[in-house]
Structure 1
Amino acid sequence: MELSLLNLLLVLVAAWLGGLLATRLGYPSVLGELLAGMLLGPPLLGVLHGSEALAVVGELGVLLMMLYIGMEIDPRELGRASKGGVLAALGGFITPFVACYLIIYYVTGSAYAAMFVGVAAGVTSLATKSRILVDLQLLDTRIAHVMMAGALIADTLSLLIFAGIIGVAQFGSVSVMDLALVGLKALAFFAVAALVGLKLIPRFGVWLQRYAPGRTVSFLLIVVVALLFAEGAELAGLHGILGAFLAGLFLRERTLGRTLSKDLMDLVRDVSLGFLAPIFFVTAGFEVTFDVFQQHPILLAGVIAAATVAKIVGTALFYLPTGYGWREGVVIGAGMNGRGAVEIIIAQIGLSMGIIDATIFSILVFMAIFTTATVPVLLKLGVDWLKRRNELVRSDHERRGVLIIGAGATARALGRVLARSQPVWVVDRNPQLCALAESDGLQVICGDALDEQVLGEAQAAHVRTFIAMTANAEVNALAAQLARTVFYVPEIHVLFSGGDEAEHQSLLAHLHATTLFAGPVSLVAWDYRIEQERIVRSKVPVEQPMPASRFFQALQGPRPALPLALLRGDRYLPVHSGLTLEPGDEVIVLQAMDVPAMPRDRFDHLVAQAPVLDLSRQLSLEEFFRVAAEPLAARLGLEAEALQRRFLEREALSSTVVFPGVAIPHVIVEGHGRFELVVARCREGLRFPDQPERVHAVFVLARSEDERTFHLQALSAIAQILQREDFEQAWLMAPDAEALRRLLLESERRRLPLPAGSEPDEALPEA
C-alpha cells in the first residue's frame, strides 16, 4: 500500500480551494470538497485518483471528525430540547425515511439499500444554519430554536439507526435470532461504553489535568481513547464512527476541565476538519457517476423530490400538536432540509460495504448538494410568508439579559444601569476589574472573551443582547463574531473607538450588528473620566422621534458627552445606532466636567514641564534609557549617549524599582540648580534586572549635587501619588500622555509652598 505524495498534495489543494469557494458562497466546505473530487477526479477530468492509502487516511479523518462532533454536542442539550424541537426532529426524520425507503425498495428490491437511503434522507445538517439565520436575522425567533434542537436530535437518531442497519446487514439475511444477536451485541457495547465513559474516563481526565503531560501527549491519548471506542463498536458489529462519536460525548469539559477540553477540541478540529476529513470528502467525490443523469434521471429526481417534500410535510404534520400552526412547521421543515457531512459519511460506508452501488451513492451525493443549496431560498421565502401574515414569533421570553465584554469603568457604569431591568453578565480577563464589577452587583466571569467555553459560562447561549466594548477593536470584532455565529445572540452592539470607519461598517454589515452609543467613543478617555469622577450624570427627555445617531451628534459640544443608556417605560436599554428614540424616552447622559484648581508646588511645575513618554511597544532596558536620555540630555546640555551610560551604570549598582511596577532611576549631573524629570508609561512593561514584575511607571530623574533636598521632596511627592488605591488602574487606563500628566497633577498629596519670590518658567496646564 503506497501513498503517492503528489496525489495527496493535489487532493489537499483541491479540498482547500473547493472548501474555500463553498464557504465564501455561504455553504459548508464539505460541498466544495465533494465537487472538487467530482470535477477533478475520475468522474470528469481524471486529474486526481484514489488509492488504498488515501482511503485509510480519509477514514481516520472521518473517525476524528466524529470524535469532534461528539465533543461539540452537549448531551444536556438533548434533554433540554423543547417539545417543538423533538416533534420537528421526529417528523423530519421519519417521513423522509419512509418515503425514500419505499422508492428505493420498489426500484432495487434491497431492504438494506432502502434503509441506507432512508437514513441519509432523514439527516439534518446544521453546517449552514448559523450563517443563514444570521443573514435573515432569525436568531431570536422560535423557528430558529426549534431548527437547532431538531437537527441535533435528528442527527443523533440517524447515527443510532445507522449502527443498527450495519449490524443487521453483516448477516446477509434477517431472522429473529440474527436480530436478537445484533441487539444483544449493540446493548453490550453501549453498556460497556457507558461504564467506561462514566466511571473510567473521568478518572482519566483528572489524571490528565493533574499531571499535565502537555497538549501533544494529551491529544495522542484522547485519539487512543477514540480509537478504542471505535474498535469496540466494530467488534460489536457496528461501525467505528459510532464509537468515536460516543467517545467524544464523554471527552467533554466536565471530564477534562475547561482549559484542557478547549485546547484538545481545537486540536481535534484542526487535524480532522482542517486536514484529514477533507481527503475523505474529495475521494468520496471520486465514486460519483454522472451517468445517473442519463440512465436514472427519474429515480434521481424522485429521491430528491421525496426527500425534500417529505422533510417539509413531515415536519409540519408532526409540529401541529405544538399549537403554533402548520405554516410555522412548513418553514421549519424548509430550514431543516439541508444535508451534509453525516449523510455523505453514511453513504460512503454503505458503498464500501457493498450495500449500495455507485448509482445509489451518486443519488445521495446529488441529494445532499441540491437540498443544501435550496435551504437559503426556501427558508427566505418561508420567513417572508410568515412576516406578511404577522406570524413570525420572536422568542423574547426565551432569551433575556445582556452580556458585556469588558469590565472597565464605562462598561461597569452601563452594566449597573441595564441591571435595573434585566440580568447582566460581564466578561473580562483582568481580575481587578472583575472584582470591581462584582462589587457593583454584576455577574462576572473572569476569562478570555474569545474562548467559547468562557462565553458559554457567561450565558451567551441565553442572553438577548451582546455588547463588545473593550479598548481593542480586534477583540471586539472576534468576540462579536463568536456571539453571532456560535451562540446565535440576536442583538450585537460593537464599540467604535475611531479609526477605519469603513472596516467598522463592514463588520457591522457582516454580523448585522450596530454601533454602541450610536457614534465613535474614546473608551479609554471615558473610563478615565469616570474613574476620576469627572462626569455629570443627567436624564435628557426625548420630545420627538429621531435616530440615536442624530441624538449622539447633537450631544457633542465643547465638553464631551456620552449617551450611556435609554429608559423606555420600565426598561433600560443600551443606546446604539439601530435605535430610534421615541417621545417619552429618557436618555441617561454622562458629560465631562472641569476639575477645580488646587494649590501647586515646585514638583507640580516640574511635572507640568516634563516630557511624558507613552511607550506602546516593548523595549529592553538599554533601549528605554536611550529614549529617556534624549529629552533629558537636550535640557541639560549633555550627550544623550553619555547620559544613557550613566543610567545603566547606576542600575547595575542596585535596582531603582521602589514599588511593584514602579521605578525611579536617577543620576547626578554636573552643574548648579539643575533638576529634570522624564515621566514614562510602558504599556507592555519594562523588565528590570532581578525584578519579578514588569515596570509600567517610570520617573527618570537627573539632578545636580546641590538639589539633594528637592530630590527628597520629589521622591516624597511620587510616593504619596503612588499611595492612591487606584493609581495602577488609572495609570494604565489613561488615554494619552497628557492624561498621565493630569493624573500626577490632580493627585491629592501634601504640597510644599513655593519659595517667596520664585516664579515658574511656564504656566501650569489647565486640569
Structure 2
Amino acid sequence: MNEFLVIQDIVIILLVSLPIIFIFRKLNLPSLVGFLLAGMIIGPYGFKLIKSVDEIEVMAEIGVILLMFTIGLEVSFTQINRIKKFLITAGGLQFLITSAVTFLIFVFAGIPFNQSIFLGFLLALSSTVIIMKLLSDRNEIESPHGKISVSISLFQDLMIVPLFLILPILSTDKNIDTINALIKIGVAFGATAVLLFAAKYFMPPIVHQIARLRMREAFTVGIILLILGTAYITHLSGLSFAIGAFIAGLILADSDYNHQILAEILTLRDAFNSIFFVSVGLLLNIQFVIHNPLLISVITVSAFILKAFIIILIVLALKYPLRIAILCGIGLGQIGEFSFVLAQAGTKFNLIGNDLYNSFLASSIFTMILTPIIFQLEPWITRQTAKLKSRIDDEEVKYAEKLSAHVIIAGYGLNGRNLARVLRETGIKYIVIELNPDTVRQEKQNGEYIMFGDISREDILKIAGAERANVIVYAISDPLITRMSLKVVKSLNPSIYALVRTRYINEVDELIKLGADEVIPEEFETALQIFRKVLEKYHIPLNVIMQQVTLLRQESYRLLRKEAMDITAFTHLDEILAQGLTETFFVNEDCSFINKTLAEINLRAQTDATIIAIVRDGNMISNPSGKDILMAGDTIILYGTHKSVDRAIELLNGGKFE
C-alpha cells in the first residue's frame, strides 16, 4: 500500500509539473517558482493530494545532489579563475555584509543569537537559476551587470559547502558538544580536502575508461555512480550528500567529457529538481500565508530591498555606474533555491522554528516572483540613469577635443582590443569607451586611448567626439545599451558609419532600423565559416566561395534568415561540381607509392583522375609518362572532376577502392 502511495504521489507531482512548466514559460517566470506554489497547493496544508511526504523528501534529496553536481560542473576552476576578482570582491562583500546586517536586525528583533546568524546566511543567498534565466533571455550574460551578477551568484553557490559544515556549531541542541562539533568539522574539512585531491587524480581517468567502452548506457550509469558514490563518501565523513556531489562536479568540470556529462545528467536533474521544489512547497502552511498576509508582505519587500540596496552600494563602490548597480541589485534581490536546501538542513539542528520557517519560505517564494517583474523595468532604469551627468578626467576631454574623422570603439574586450591594436599600427586615430574601471585604469597606464563611460549616454558620446567621428564600432555584449546608443549617436551625427557586433541574427533588422550601417552577427558568421570550409572540402574555387559569402553579407544575411532559402540567388554549385578542376597533392615519406612508376600506380584507371604534372626540386615535369617515378617530396598536379580528384587523393593517402 505504501509503495502504491509513493507512485501515486510521484504521478501527481509530474502531472502538475507539466502544465506549470508551460504556463510559467509563457509568463516568462522561472518554473521553479511554479513548483513551489504547486507544492503549497497539493500538499498536506492545501488540497492534501500528497500522502507520502517522507518518501518524496528522499527523492528530493537526489534532486539536491544532482543540482549541486551540475553547479560544480558549470562552475569549474577555470571559470572561477576567469572572474576571480568579481568573485572575491563583489561576491565576498555581498555575502558578508548581507549576513551581518540581517544578523543585527534579527538580534534586535529578539531572535536568539545562533538563529540570527543562521537567518543571515539564508537571506544572503540568491537564486542562480533565476538570474541566469533573466540574463540569458536578454543576451546579457557577458554584459557588465551580467558578469558581476553571475560572479556574486557563483560566490554564494560556493559558500553552500562551508555553510553546511558549520550548522552543527550553530545548533540549539544542548546535547551537542561544541568542542566535539569543532573536531568533527575539522575532520570533515580534512576528509573533504583528501577527497578533492583523490578525486582530481582518480576521477578523470575513471571517466576516460568508461568513455572508452563507447556504450552510452555504461557512460550514464558510470557518471551516476561517481556522483552518488562521492556523495556517499562525504556523508560517511560527517558531511552532507550535496557537498560530495559538488566536489565531483567541480573536478569533472575541467575534463574532456564535461559537456557530454552535462547532457546526460541535465534531464535527470530537471526531473528530480521538480520533485525537490515541489517538496519544499509541501512544507509551507498555506493557511499560515492566508492568515498572515501583512507579515509575509513586509518580510518579502524588506528582504528584497535590503539585499538589492547592499548590492547596489557594493557595485557603486567598485566604480561602476548607477545603472549597472541597480540592475545587479534587482537581479539578485530574491532569496535563492539553496536557501531552501540550507533551511531544510537547519530544521534538523533546531535552527529555525515552524512559524519562522513558514514565514521565511513564503517570503522567499514571493521574492522569486517579484524579481522577474521588477527586472522588466530595465529599459526605464537605463533611460533614467542616462540623464545623470558623468565625471570625466580633464585629460580625456583634452585628448578627445583634438580628434576628428576618428573611430570610436565601444568596449575593450577581445574584439575591441584587437581593433584598437590594428588602428594604432595603421595610424588611424581612435578612442575607446569602456565601463570596467579596472580595465580603464590599467590600459591608461599602458598608454591606451581609453575613457570610462556608458556608451548610451549623450554626454559621453559628445566628449568622445561623436559629432566629428567617421566610424563607431560596437564591440560590447549588451543589446539594450547598443540600441540606445545607436539612437543617440545617429541623432548627433547622422553620417557616422555604425558597425555593430551582435550575438544573434534576430537582432539584425532592429539594429539596421535604428541606423546601423553594418551588423555582424556572430551566430551567422560561424555559419558562413562552416559554409566556406565545406565548399573548400569539395574543391569549389576560392573566387566562387568568396562570391557566395559576399552575397550573403551584402544582403545583411537575409538569405540565411529566410525559412525557405532562395537557391537561385546562388551560383549553381551542382554545375561547378560537374566541371573539371586541378588540385595539388604533396607526396610525403609515408606515401605507399614512393619509387613506383606512374604506370604501376595506374591512377587514371582507378579514379578517372589524371596526373598532368610533377613538381620536383623547383622544376616542373609536364605531361609525365608512365615510366616517370614518384618520389618523396614531389608535388603532383591532378586533373579531373571533383569526385575523381577526391578519389585520387584518398587513394594516394592509403585508401582503397573496389
- Residue in 2 that maps onto 1:310: 306
1:166-177 aligned at under 5 Å gives the runs: 166=168, 168-169=170-171, 172=174, 177=179
| TM-score, normalised by the number of residues in structure 2 | 0.60
CA distance in 2, matches of 1:157, 1:168: 16
1:58 aligns with 2:89: no
**Identical pairs, percent:** 18
Aligned length, in residue pairs: 473
- Residue in 1 that maps onto 2:200: 198
CA distance in 2, matches of 1:331, 1:465: 15
The offset of 1:141, in angstroms, is 2.6
3-state SS, counterpart of residue 400 of structure 1:
helix
Please say if residues 186 and 238 of structure 1, whose CA atoms lie closer than 8 Å, have aligned partners that are also in contact: yes
Deviations 1:334-377 (A, max 9, x none): 11123443222222333355432332332233233222222234
Please say if residues 515 and 576 of structure 1, whose CA atoms lie closer than 8 Å, have aligned partners that are also in contact: no
Aligned mate of 2:331, from 332, 335, 339 = 335
* Bigger relative contact order, structure 1 or 2 (CA pairs below 8 A, ≥6 apart): 2
3-state SS, counterpart of residue 504 of structure 2:
strand
1:379 aligns with 2:375: yes
- Residue in 1 that maps onto 2:641: 721
Please say if residues 103 and 303 of structure 1, whose CA atoms lie closer than 8 Å, have aligned partners that are also in contact: no
The residue type paired with residue 162 of structure 1 is F
CA distance in 1, matches of 2:544, 2:135: 41
CA distance in 1, matches of 2:237, 2:161: 15
The offset of 1:236, in angstroms, is 3.8
- Residue in 1 that maps onto 2:268: 271
CA distance in 1, matches of 2:73, 2:572: 55
- Residue in 1 that maps onto 2:147: 145
- Residue in 2 that maps onto 1:753: none
1:350 aligns with 2:351: no
- Residue in 2 that maps onto 1:26: 28
Aligned mate of 1:120, from 100, 119, 122 = 122
The residue type paired with residue 193 of structure 1 is L
CA distance in 2, matches of 1:84, 1:69: 18
* Residue 376 to residue 242, structure 1, CA distance change in 2 (3 Å): same
* Residue 728 to residue 313, structure 1, CA distance change in 2 (3 Å): farther
Which has the larger helix fraction? Answer: 2
* Residue 323 to residue 173, structure 1, CA distance change in 2 (3 Å): farther
* Residue 297 to residue 389, structure 1, CA distance change in 2 (3 Å): closer
CA distance in 1, matches of 2:503, 2:142: 8
- Residue in 1 that maps onto 2:396: none
1:239-254 aligned at under 5 Å gives the runs: 239-254=240-255
Structure 1: state its 5+ residue gaps: 403-419, 421-462, 467-488, 502-511, 518-522, 539-559, 567-573, 578-590, 598-602, 605-657, 663-718, 730-767
The offset of 1:149, in angstroms, is 1.5
Deviations 1:464-517 (A, max 9, x none): 699xxxxxxxxxxxxxxxxxxxxxx95213799xxxx9xxxxxxxxxx989969
1:98 aligns with 2:94: no
The residue type paired with residue 223 of structure 2 is I
| TM-score, normalised by the number of residues in structure 1 | 0.53
The residue type paired with residue 251 of structure 1 is L
The offset of 1:161, in angstroms, is 2.0
* Residue 515 to residue 137, structure 1, CA distance change in 2 (3 Å): closer
The offset of 1:9, in angstroms, is 1.0
The offset of 1:287, in angstroms, is 1.0
* Residue 349 to residue 318, structure 1, CA distance change in 2 (3 Å): same
The offset of 1:288, in angstroms, is 0.4
Tell me how large the CA RMSD over aligned residues is: 4.8
The offset of 1:289, in angstroms, is 0.9
Please say if residues 91 and 156 of structure 2, whose CA atoms lie closer than 8 Å, have aligned partners that are also in contact: yes
- Residue in 2 that maps onto 1:671: none
Please say if residues 138 and 144 of structure 1, whose CA atoms lie closer than 8 Å, have aligned partners that are also in contact: yes
Please say if residues 84 and 319 of structure 1, whose CA atoms lie closer than 8 Å, have aligned partners that are also in contact: no
- Residue in 2 that maps onto 1:531: 540
* Residue 153 to residue 532, structure 1, CA distance change in 2 (3 Å): same
Please say if residues 44 and 51 of structure 2, whose CA atoms lie closer than 8 Å, have aligned partners that are also in contact: yes
* Residue 92 to residue 532, structure 1, CA distance change in 2 (3 Å): same
* Residue 59 to residue 84, structure 1, CA distance change in 2 (3 Å): closer
1:396 aligns with 2:411: yes
Please say if residues 331 and 382 of structure 1, whose CA atoms lie closer than 8 Å, have aligned partners that are also in contact: yes
* Residue 202 to residue 312, structure 1, CA distance change in 2 (3 Å): same
- Residue in 1 that maps onto 2:158: 156
Deviations 1:277-334 (A, max 9, x none): 2222212211101233355555534432332122112112223332224553233111
CA distance in 2, matches of 1:132, 1:43: 31
Structure 2: state its 5+ residue gaps: 391-408, 418-425, 427-474, 479-500, 510-519, 526-530, 559-568, 580-604, 609-638, 650-658
- Residue in 1 that maps onto 2:505: 493
CA distance in 1, matches of 2:158, 2:175: 26
Please say if residues 564 and 575 of structure 1, whose CA atoms lie closer than 8 Å, have aligned partners that are also in contact: yes
- Residue in 1 that maps onto 2:405: none
CA distance in 1, matches of 2:11, 2:320: 52
* Residue 139 to residue 228, structure 1, CA distance change in 2 (3 Å): closer
Aligned mate of 1:13, from 12, 15, 33 = 15
CA distance in 2, matches of 1:324, 1:302: 30
Q: Which has the higher Rg, Structure 1 or Structure 2?
A: 1
Please say if residues 383 and 392 of structure 1, whose CA atoms lie closer than 8 Å, have aligned partners that are also in contact: no
The residue type paired with residue 271 of structure 1 is L
The offset of 1:244, in angstroms, is 1.4
The offset of 1:243, in angstroms, is 1.7
CA distance in 1, matches of 2:111, 2:572: 87
* Residue 224 to residue 295, structure 1, CA distance change in 2 (3 Å): same
